[in-house]
Amino acid sequence: MPLDPHDLRDAIALWPQLAGATGRLINHSENHTFRFGDYTLRVHRPDYQSPETIDSELAWLQALRRDTDLPIAEPVPGANGLMLQHFRTSGGEPRYAVLFRFIRGTEPDMGSDLTGLFAKLGTYAATLHQHAITWQRPPAFTRQAWNAASILDADGLWGNWRVAPGVNGANRPLIEQAVKILRRNLDAYGADPEQYGLIHADMRLGNLLVDGDTVSLIDFDDSGFCWFTYDFAASISFYETHPSVPELRRAWLQAYQQVRPLSPADIASLDSMILLRRLALLAWIGTHAETKLAQHHVPGFAKGTAELAERYLVRG
């Protein structure tokens, strides 16, 4: 059941900055996000992230703010000095929440020229990955892994793509055939430290805020361990079949490699990452049917996934 500001009375009391503020829901996908004046409150979806994984996300976010100049969200501690807070909704449901300073900007539109934006995303991704490689993580640091098993298996983190809307007896065998090749290629690519590590994992348009020349990257809630090139695949989330993808891919790669060089195998892995991400989203749509984002993308999504799978099979 979606939350509304009336459910947050006990949460508001945890941050003095929210005293007397009126909130409104501004986003509901994985979590609920409410705006309270100069702040946004992220209320976590039950049974997805744990206190340990959220604290780990926040630890990386704070390290990135300290060590880089990336424009990312700033978490705000509560009255008890902690970033992560626990409360009960007006209906008695336990939830976790984090408060951030509000960031101005609007979500970019896939219908506009995004070449410059994707060049910037390439720089952001390379900076994040370079930081992740060199950063000394806290001893208790723990985040989920986005790998073949956690995405493609029936008990995947976002669900089972095989039972998603639009998957049927006509297209499932084709996608399954591509998945078999995908698993083989991912295994051959490997997961050495220069290929696989801590990434944002959800650098899609919906997690960008554009304000003039400033592009802010938000929502590290899905950050975890994965192949570094997966961050490009995530940046074209829901638009993998869009005709501008090859041009955006070139812009991303060129900018990325000015910060952190990639091997031919890394570049070749992009096709695998795009299909892997598409299957993750197909599963997500099936388990998040209550969200407007899933409802918006359901029509034709399985069909488009089958088209991507067919192209992938041709490439081998």
* pLDDT tens digits along 235-267: 999 999 999 999 999 999 999 999 999 999 999
* CATH code, domain with 95: 3.30.200.20
Give the β-pairing of 24-28 and 39-43: unpaired
Does the residue 192 lie in any domain?
yes
* CA–CA dist 129, 280 (Å, integer): 21
User: How many other CB atoms are found less than 10 A from the CB of residue 156?
Assistant: 20
* CA–CA dist 198, 131 (Å, integer): 9
State the pLDDT at residue 1.
62
Q: What angle do CA 305, 310, 315 make, to 5 degrees?
A: 125
* pLDDT tens digits along 294-313: 999 999 999 999 999 999 99
Q: Is 121 in the same domain as 268?
A: yes
Q: Is 190 in the same domain as 249?
A: yes
Does the residue 108 lie in any domain?
no
* pLDDT tens digits along 272-299: 999 999 999 999 999 999 888 999 999 9
Give the β-pairing of 84-88 and 94-101: antiparallel
Q: Is 120 in the same domain as 90?
A: no
* pLDDT over threshold 90, residue 210: yes
Q: Is 45 in the same domain as 90?
A: yes
Q: Is 153 in the same domain as 277?
A: yes
Does the residue 234 lie in any domain?
yes
State the pLDDT at residue 138.
96
Does the residue 107 lie in any domain?
no
State the pLDDT at residue 4.
83
State the pLDDT at residue 314.
93
Q: Is 264 in the same domain as 189?
A: yes
Q: Is 71 in the same domain as 167?
A: no
State the pLDDT at residue 6.
87
Q: Is 22 in the same domain as 134?
A: no
* pLDDT tens digits along 1-55: 678 888 999 999 999 999 988 899 998 888 999 999 999 999 999 989 999 999 9
Q: Is 186 in the same domain as 247?
A: yes
Q: For the full predicted model, state whether its pTM sits above 0.85.
A: yes
Q: Is 85 in the same domain as 183?
A: no
Does the residue 109 lie in any domain?
no
57 band by pLDDT with thresholds 50, 70 and 90: very high
| 157 close to 150: Cβ distance less than 8 angstroms | yes
* CA–CA dist 301, 163 (Å, integer): 13
Q: Residue for token digits 């359901």?
A: 298
Does the residue 41 lie in any domain?
yes
Q: Is 120 in the same domain as 84?
A: no
C-alpha distance from residue 78 to each of 13, 16, 88 (Å)? 9, 7, 16
* CATH code, domain with 187: 3.90.1200.10
| Count of structural domains, the chain | 2
User: Can you tell me the mean pLDDT for 211-225?
Assistant: 96
Residue 163's domain comprises 115-315
Does the residue 252 lie in any domain?
yes
| 129 close to 60: Cβ distance less than 8 angstroms | no
pLDDT mean across residues, the chain: 96
Q: Is 267 in the same domain as 186?
A: yes
SS3 304: helix
Does the residue 278 lie in any domain?
yes
